[in-house]
Every structure is written in structure tokens, then in C-alpha cells.
Structure 1
Amino acid sequence: MRSVTIDDVAKAAGVSIKTVSRVVNREPNVRAATKEKVEAAIKELNYRPNQSARGLASRRSYMIGLVYDSPSPNYLANLQAGMIEACRESHYGMALNPVSYHAPDMVDQVMHWARQAFLDGVVLTPPLTDSEPLLEALRAQDIPVVILSSRSTLGTPAVLIDEVEAAYQMTRHLIEAGHSRVALVKGHPDHYASRCREEGFLKAMKEAGLDILDGYVAQGYFDFASGRKAAADLLSLPVPPTAIFASNDDMAAAAIYEAHSRKLNVPGDLAVAGFDDTPLSRQVWPGMTTVRQPIRAMGRQAAEALMDAMTAEGREKLAEQGEMVIDFELQLRGSTAR
């Protein structure tokens, strides 16, 4: 059986080969009705562009990259799923590059990889999003960039939620449930989101006129081990908290685990809340109250924004967008029920 060609798609959609090419390559100025006809023909015929020929014709690789520094496995899995979904729909590939934010040659590593892979654009995750040398190096090489869950002082386009407001609302939820001894497990100090979540927590506590007792802000690193240590330290205080707000779901799950190991009832003796709404939040017992950060949707939007930036017009549009703020939602479950 012969392969479906671009000519077949053009014939089925009743358009020119050039129009099909423009739709496949996400070029602007294609009428919505025409785009729908072409996309329907592509789906019906199960058309798959020849990546080599496509790249030669357009001088693009049709590859985007994701650079990360050991985030939560749950966070990374959701992020990748959203990006891959967008890439498949537009016939792009995706490359991954785990790096260490503190490596002396981190910028050189990323730039060498981006050049070797002939990437059309890059998505950065925290804390790499805060590296101005890296952002400047990518800009100097004219490689489009979108950052996640952070704000760039260089005006780099970003996909994020309002981290401060989300943490504020979750802390208010714990206070309104009757808790006055509320503790925070902070996230990794290198991450912009950690500072925002702490800011939201402090704002809610201050607004409610509640004191933050000594030792009630514990350091975590967005992983289970640090979350359990922080919870153990908090629960060993002379006056332990009755509620813990952990800055991500991995650390909140660890706090629940530590509470169970001490024969404490969750939420009767200790309420626990997390952040992200990863699958883990629905796998622990009781179900975890958390902030739903739509990580998969954020990954998808970041990938789509990059792919739309492959033309001069698209790049200008991306630069003008600045921050793309996604809605969050509190997911109230058993771990904070009263």
C-alpha cells in the first residue's frame, strides 16, 4: 500500500499543495474554514509529513526541546504529556535534556545540545527559567524560548499560574477550617514558585492575624525525602502544627506518610494540603487537598506557542504575549476535611 502524500491531502481538501504545507507548518494567514478542511483531510487519510523533506524545504528541524533540572517525577510526566500531545498534532518531535542548574558549564551544555539537535525552540522549567545567562545565550542564537512557572526579567514569554494567589487561597482554606497553627513546607530555594507560594502563605496568615510560631516554616526541596524530614521536624516541635501546607504534592504525601507513622489521624489530628494536583494526590489516603495547577495544559500551551513562533510574524506575536496566565483551582479532598 503506497504512502499518503501531500498531493493526496490537497486533492481531498480541494486546496493547493502550498495551502496544505502552510497548515502543516502552522503558518499564519490561513482562513479558519480552509484550515479545518485540510486538518480533516489529514486525519481522514492519516497523513504523516516526511520530516526530512519538510526540514530541507523550510530549513527547520521540526524539533523542540525541553530542558529541566530534576523536577518532581509527577510534574515532569504531566508536562511531557502535554507537550507531546501538541507536538504530535503538528507533526513535531521533542527532545529532552536534563541538566544541573548549578553546573559551572550549564549554559554551554544547553547551547551545545540545542545546536547539535538543530532545535527550533526550547521550553525551560524552574529553576533554569531564572538563569539570565542561559536566556541571553538562547536569545543571542535566535532560538525561541518559552519558560514555565516563572517570570523573566528579560521579558521572555512565560506560561504560569498566579502562584501567590493560589497559595493564599489554600492557606485561607486551612484557616477557615479552624486551624490557627498552620505550618508551611517550602519548596526548593532556587525556584521562583517556592518564593511565590511562601509569599501567599505569609499574606494569608498576616491577614487573619495569626502568628507563625518558631520553626513553622520548614525547608523542603520538592521531593518526598525532604518533605518527610520537614514534616518530622514540624511534628516534633513542643507545640506542633494542626495543619501543614506543603509546596508540592510529593512533600504533602510525605507529610501524610509521616503522620501515619506517628499514629496520627489525617485529617483529625493533622490536616495536610499540597500543590499541583498530580496523580499522587489521588493515590494517597485520605485523598489529598491540593491546588490544581494544570501542568499538562501548561506544557501543551508552551509547545504550541513555540511552534507558532516559527515564522517572523509568529515570533513577534509570541513576544507580545508576554505572560500566558492559566487558571488554577483548589481541589478539596479528605486530607483537610473537618
Structure 2
Amino acid sequence: MTVSRVINDGASVRETTREAVQAAIRELSYAPNLAARNLVMAGELRIGVVYSNPSAAFMSDFLVGVFEEATNAGARLILARGENGHPPAEAELERLLAAGVQGVVLAPPLGESAAVLGVLRTAGLPVAVVAAGRPAADAINVRIDDRQASWTMTRHLLDLGHRRIGFIAGNPDQTASAERLEGARAAIAAVPGAELLLAQGAFTYDSGLRAAERLLDRAPAPTAIFASNDDMAAAAVSVAHRRHLDVPRDLTVVGFDDATVATTLWPPLTTVRQPVRQMAAVALDRLIRALRSSAPAGGAAADHVLDHALIQRESTAPPRPIDTPPDAGTHGARPHV
């Protein structure tokens, strides 16, 4: 309160105290946070939320997280949306800024968009980034360790006995995709005779269909497929069923995110739980705290890494013995309909 009175030329401060505070301001090169000052003066907290994720399941969890946290904090959210992973139009971003937002939360992949980050930096707004594979130096980052999570899942498949594992990579423009691929490769490299078969996806169901077809056209085909998100894993299960392969007896399929689709298809997916709703809520909470404290949003201390978990369900099993035909036994492939 004393510092605030000095900065705002308040009269009820002793001269010796005023001089001490001003000396500290000069030494620390302190500058008031204009966004936080506007927040206090305006009496209403306005936060922009910019998103353009092609996964409806991911965005559903993300938006629930920010809506719930905004309700708890008494904040007003102003949304700006792009399409299919692309940034919103320039006019949409200008509308967001004109609405008087004091900070912005970015859903993936926009936390890695140079265009979006450039506009927000020019405007001097603090930013919170959710689920970027690597932290941005000047933003609040909330994420999991994608590489370690992917390593854990791949290690699980190897422990089941799989040695020929198909991997459907995510959008190559996102660092999370590269981190998940590197995690899988690290696990594979530690096991002699294990092989990772790569197919490119884009975090969409359609791209998962195409990638799974390419993997299952290989000879010999993989005994397990690890998709970089649950939408693509669901697509791989669909392709397997279309080819009359039983999941998991003939083909193990696993995903990443633990989105709603992981428990609404058959069989339910073994997956990595990425706490998307919690990540979104934490990002908004940390952004609000930064605004209210007049603290800088970025810096090493602004990298918040949340826990992930391996969730085992019914889509995984040891590989079928080579000399056992796919339709043997009572749990073989589904009949042609």
C-alpha cells in the first residue's frame, strides 16, 4: 500500500519513506503493470481466450476448465476462435484487444503461433499458454511432460511384449508432437529388436484413419498402434474393425489425452491422462494472480508442469502368437456385416 501511494503521489507518506521507495524503484527498474492497474480501476476482470484446436474433445475439456475458473474468480471471458488450428483473423484479434482484455489464455496450438504471440506482445498483454510441448520464455506455461508421458506409454507396450509398434504422430507444427515422438523413440531404443513404425497424423480423426491404414498395410503389420491423441486412436480402432481385426487380441491400440472418446468407443482406450480441464483452470488462475500482483507473467518460475497418468483399459493385450490365425478362438475378429 505504501509503494502504491508513492507511485500515485499520495500525500500520506513520510518524506524519508517516499525517498526510500523511489530509490528502490530506480534500482529495480520497476515499471507499473498497466494491465493490472486497468484491472483495479475498471473493477471487472476481462480475460481473452483464443483457441483453434481441431479436436472437439480436447476443446470441450479446455473450455470447461476456463469457464469454471472464470466463474470462481468473477472474471469475464471474451473468446476469439480460429479454424482447424489456424489463428483467428486479424480483425478478430483486434476485436479482442478493443474489448479491453487485461490478459489472454491460449489453447494449443496457438501458444506456438508467432503471429498471435506477436500481436499480444505488441499490445503488452500477459499471456498464459496451455499444453505447449516446450515452455515459452515470456509467458505463463501450463503443461505436462509430453516426452516422459510418451515414454511411459511406449514402455508399457514393450512390457506387454510388443516389439513392432506403430506410432501416429501429431501435427508436425506443434512441439508437443515432437516431444511425444522423441519419448516413444527413447523407449524403443532401450529394447533390442524393438521397432517404431512412424505414420504422420494431424491430431484429427480423419488423419488417424489415413495413418492407421498406412501402418496396417505394412508387412509385417505392427502388433500395437500408439496414437498421439485419442481422436487418432479412435480412428485406428475403427480401421482395425473394418479389417476384421479384434482389438486388443489382434491389435493393441492406445492413445493420449484421456478425452471423452476414450471411454465412449469399444473397447475403451488405454491412454495417457493429460489433465486438460485442470491445465486450463491453472493457466487462468496463474494469469489472474499475475495481474493482481502486478508481477511479470513470464520467466522460469512461470513453467507449471502438472502430473500425467497411464490409464489402463481394455484396448491393450500382449501380442498374438505368430502361429495363431487372427480369427482363431472365441474372441476373434468380428464377422463381416
CA distance in 2: counterparts of 1:304 and 1:225, whole angstroms: 34
Structure 2 gaps, min length 5: 1-37, 319-337
Cα shift at 1:209: 2.5
Verify the 8 A CA contact 2:126 2:297 in the aligned structure 1. Answer: no
Question: Alignment partner of 1:299: what SS?
Answer: helix
1:321 aligns with 2:301: yes
Equivalent in 126, 141, 144 of residue 123 of structure 2: 141
Verify the 8 A CA contact 2:79 2:96 in the aligned structure 1. Answer: no
Question: Alignment partner of 1:336: what SS?
Answer: coil
Give a deviation string over 1:137-165, Cα, whole Å, max 9, x none.
31232211001111344332200000000
Could you tell me which residue of structure 1 aligns to residue 90 of structure 2? Answer: 108
Question: Alignment partner of 2:147: what SS?
Answer: helix
Could you tell me which residue of structure 2 aligns to residue 281 of structure 1? Answer: 262
CA distance in 1: counterparts of 2:131 and 2:193, whole angstroms: 29
Could you tell me which residue of structure 2 aligns to residue 132 of structure 1? Answer: 114
Give a deviation string over 1:294-320, Cα, whole Å, max 9, x none.
000001001111111223x34337646
CA distance in 1: counterparts of 2:311 and 2:188, whole angstroms: 20
TM-score where L is the length of structure 1: 0.77
Could you tell me which residue of structure 2 aligns to residue 247 of structure 1? Answer: 228
Verify the 8 A CA contact 2:248 2:317 in the aligned structure 1. Answer: yes
Structure 1 gaps, min length 5: 1-54
1:309 aligns with 2:290: yes
State how 1:18-29 maps to structure 2 within 5 Å.
none
Cα shift at 1:234: 0.8
Equivalent in 178, 187, 211 of residue 204 of structure 1: 187
Residues 277 and 101 (structure 1), Cα distance of their counterparts in 2 relative to 1, 3 Å cut: closer
Say what the alpha-carbon RMSD is for the aligned residues.
2.2
Corresponding pairs, count: 280
Could you tell me which residue of structure 1 aligns to residue 30 of structure 2? Answer: none
More helix by share: 1
Residues 144 and 240 (structure 1), Cα distance of their counterparts in 2 relative to 1, 3 Å cut: same
Verify the 8 A CA contact 2:127 2:297 in the aligned structure 1. Answer: no
Report the residue type matching 2:278 in the other structure: A
State how 1:50-65 maps to structure 2 within 5 Å.
58-59=41-42, 61-65=44-48
Residues 82 and 153 (structure 1), Cα distance of their counterparts in 2 relative to 1, 3 Å cut: closer
CA distance in 1: counterparts of 2:181 and 2:40, whole angstroms: 50
CA distance in 1: counterparts of 2:141 and 2:225, whole angstroms: 30
Verify the 8 A CA contact 1:101 1:128 in the aligned structure 2. Answer: no
Give percent identity, aligned residues only: 38
Question: Alignment partner of 2:291: what SS?
Answer: coil
Report the residue type matching 1:321 in the other structure: A
Cα shift at 1:109: 4.1
Verify the 8 A CA contact 1:161 1:328 in the aligned structure 2. Answer: yes
Cα shift at 1:211: 4.6
Verify the 8 A CA contact 1:187 1:220 in the aligned structure 2. Answer: yes
1:191 aligns with 2:171: no
Verify the 8 A CA contact 2:252 2:315 in the aligned structure 1. Answer: yes
Cα shift at 1:117: 1.9
CA distance in 1: counterparts of 2:74 and 2:274, whole angstroms: 27
TM-score where L is the length of structure 2: 0.77
Runs of 4+ in structure 1 displaced over 6 angstroms?
Answer: none
1:228 aligns with 2:189: no
Report the residue type matching 2:148 in the other structure: E
1:330 aligns with 2:310: yes
Question: Alignment partner of 2:148: what SS?
Answer: helix
Verify the 8 A CA contact 1:68 1:125 in the aligned structure 2. Answer: yes
Give a deviation string over 1:41-70, Cα, whole Å, max 9, x none.
xxxxxxxxxxxxxx8972264221221223
Cα shift at 1:95: 2.1
Higher-Rg member (1/2): 2
CA distance in 1: counterparts of 2:95 and 2:185, whole angstroms: 40
Question: Alignment partner of 2:279: what SS?
Answer: helix
Verify the 8 A CA contact 2:54 2:84 in the aligned structure 1. Answer: no
Report the residue type matching 2:151 in the other structure: Y
Equivalent in 192, 211, 219 of residue 238 of structure 1: 219
Report the residue type matching 2:55 in the other structure: S
